[in-house]
Amino acid sequence: MKITCVIGTLGGGGAERVMTYLCGGLAACGHEVTLLTLDDSVPDFYPVPEGVRRERVNLPTFKKAGVLGGIPRLWRLTCAVRRTRPDAVISFMTVSVLASCFLLRIPYIYADHLDVRHLAYSRKWRILRNFFLRHAHRVTVLSERDRKYIALYHPKWKPAVIYNPAVPAPKGFFARPAFLEEGKKHVVAVGRLVKQKGFDRLLEAWRRICEEFPDWRLCIIGAGPDEQELKGLADTLDVLYCVRFVPPVQGLEAVYKHAELYAMSSRAEGFPMVLLEAMAAGLAAVSFDCNGPDVIIRDGVDGFLVKQHHTDRLAAKLAELMKDEEKRRHFGEKAREVTKRFSMNKYLDAYEALCREAVK
């Protein structure tokens, strides 16, 4: 089959990482795969997989294009899709390309990588989105909760659950990153510095326990618009001395290799790749009980799930594992089983099957 996969950019992010897995995996299965990105203003964070053809079309958003610019934008996008001559299109969170597929009569699959109950759209975009998703072959989501929500409120979207894949951690020697202090133990958290990721709540939880654990450090890896606000909060809470803010890192294998725990404080998630990767590397995890982590973490087996908004409980569960090295080791060994529970083969088989159905 000729399959075109569409995403906004290959900038750093979980959906972008999964897109490279999907394209590379489908190409390895013998399909002719084209990766189409729509915004050149964001530099690539991930490399294009071997055997995948790359197409770019640099388009302004519909909001920037305005009413008059919307039609030329759609024309350019439609021409770009037609050049790839696909049998089927898989779109990651890019609604506009669905209009092109509809005009070209190409079957398409739309994948949402966020908790659909937390998405906000204007009335105009809700109408357009609902129309095009009703005509999708399938709408894939990352949780059974989302599937039930869509089946209840949007039954014509034909939702299906496909979990993100967990890839086994690479073996070999990885040098200790300079920002992980020698002689200290580290709790690591990774993500964009935005409200959704809840790093403000993680800092509040850390304030409750940091004095009890002077040989531990909290390392927050990421960038975003809330960076200065979070650093100011850390200063206000008087925890800057034991918290490290680190810019995005290309390849986190060395970080996970030399860290002791993974923390996730998100208010909402899809099916977070950073959590899958940390657990695949053998890190026990503590997370708020939001969409995604509630399926990935087996509470009391390979990590802990904490009721949303209860920063005191998040702090208590972190402290429980920070105190108990044997429990951390046991949870970490169990955490590696995530690569079997959410394997790459299952993920690729699911999308390949949907593409074959769509073409038929």
Residue 32: CB atoms within 10 A of its CB come to 17
Q: Are 271 and 164 in contact (CB under 8 A)?
A: yes
Distance CA 223, CA 192 (A): 5
**Residue whose tokens read 């299952």:** 346
pLDDT at 40: 86
181-192 burial, b at 16+ Cβ within 10 Å, e below that, comes to eeeebbbbbbbb
pLDDT at 118: 59
Task: Report residue 256 as tokens.
Answer: 């996970």
Distance CA 265, CA 293 (A): 10
Q: Are 106 and 128 in contact (CB under 8 A)?
A: no
Across the beta sheet with 216-221, what order do the strands follow? 243-246, 216-221, 185-190, 261-264, 284-288, 303-306
Distance CA 173, CA 196 (A): 34
Q: What is the largest CA-CA distance in the chain?
A: 63
Domain layout of the chain by residue ranges: 2-165+343-359, 185-341
Give burial (CB, 10 Å; 0-12/13-18/19+) of 336.
middle
pLDDT at 113: 80
Lowest-pLDDT range, 125-129, 156-160, 179-183? 125-129
| pLDDT band, residue 61 (cuts 50/70/90) | low
Asked whether residue 125 carries a pLDDT value surpassing 90, the answer given is no
Asked whether residue 56 carries a pLDDT value surpassing 90, the answer given is yes
- Alpha carbon distances (Å) from 214 to 65, 207, 272: 53, 12, 30
pLDDT at 67: 53
Q: Assign domain 185-341 to a CATH class.
A: alpha beta
Chain centre to alpha carbon of residue 237: 29
pLDDT at 112: 87
The model's pLDDT over 278-325, given as tens digits with 9 standing for 90+, comes to 999 999 999 999 989 999 999 999 999 999 999 999 999 999 999 999
| pLDDT band, residue 120 (cuts 50/70/90) | low
Same fold, 2-165+343-359 and 185-341: yes
The model's pLDDT over 227-253, given as tens digits with 9 standing for 90+, comes to 999 999 999 999 999 999 999 998 899
Q: Are 289 and 307 in contact (CB under 8 A)?
A: yes
Type of residue numbered 142: L
Asked whether residue 13 carries a pLDDT value surpassing 90, the answer given is no
> What are the strands, taking DSSP E only, across 147-240?
159-161, 185-190, 216-221
Q: What is the pLDDT of the chain when averaged over all its residues?
A: 93
pLDDT at 333: 97
- For residues 171-192, average pLDDT: 95
3 — phi, psi (to 5°)? -120, 130
Distance CA 190, CA 223 (A): 9
| pLDDT band, residue 127 (cuts 50/70/90) | confident
| pLDDT band, residue 145 (cuts 50/70/90) | confident
Task: Report residue 19 as tokens.
Answer: 């897109």
Asked whether residue 331 carries a pLDDT value surpassing 70, the answer given is yes
**Residue whose tokens read 């590379």:** 24
- For residues 36-41, average pLDDT: 91
Asked whether residue 5 carries a pLDDT value surpassing 90, the answer given is yes
> 357: phi > 0 → left, psi -120 to 50 → alpha, else beta; which?
alpha
- For residues 210-221, average pLDDT: 98
Asked whether residue 117 carries a pLDDT value surpassing 90, the answer given is no
Tell me which DSSP letter residue 286 carries. E
Asked whether residue 101 carries a pLDDT value surpassing 60, the answer given is yes
pLDDT at 41: 85
Compare 120 and 310 and report the one with higher pLDDT. Answer: 310
Q: Are 295 and 271 in contact (CB under 8 A)?
A: yes
Assign a CATH topology to domain 2-165+343-359: Rossmann fold (3.40.50)
> For the chain, what's the residue count?
360
